[in-house]
Amino acid sequence: MPKPSEKITKEYPARGPLTQFRFEKLIHFTCSLCNQAKTSKMLAISDQNWDKILCNGCYGLMLSK
């Protein structure tokens, strides 16, 4: 998935290879970890790669490991 064209309202500091973003509008995407369709204003990417989008739940799971 290419980087969404919606406006990013906040980019959080990277935590290891993960960077979290908050968008102005809802984004529809498929989480690359749990493979579920998601709709959220919050998402994270791994290794600065927009093909590796994580939902907020999987982002938290990755940080807890």
Where do the structural domains in the chain lie, given as residue ranges?
Answer: 8-64
Cβ-contact 33, 18 below 8 angstroms = no
What local confidence, expressed as pLDDT, does residue 2 receive?
A: 80
pLDDT tens per residue across span 2-21: 888 899 999 999 999 999 99
Considering the entire predicted model, what is its pTM? 0.91
pLDDT tens per residue across span 36-61: 999 999 999 999 999 999 999 999 99
Q: Mean pLDDT score of the chain, rounded to an integer?
A: 95
What local confidence, expressed as pLDDT, does residue 1 receive?
A: 75
37 strand-pairing partners: 30
What local confidence, expressed as pLDDT, does residue 65 receive?
A: 83
Q: What tokens were used for 43?
A: 């998402």
10 vs 24: CA distance, rounded Å: 9
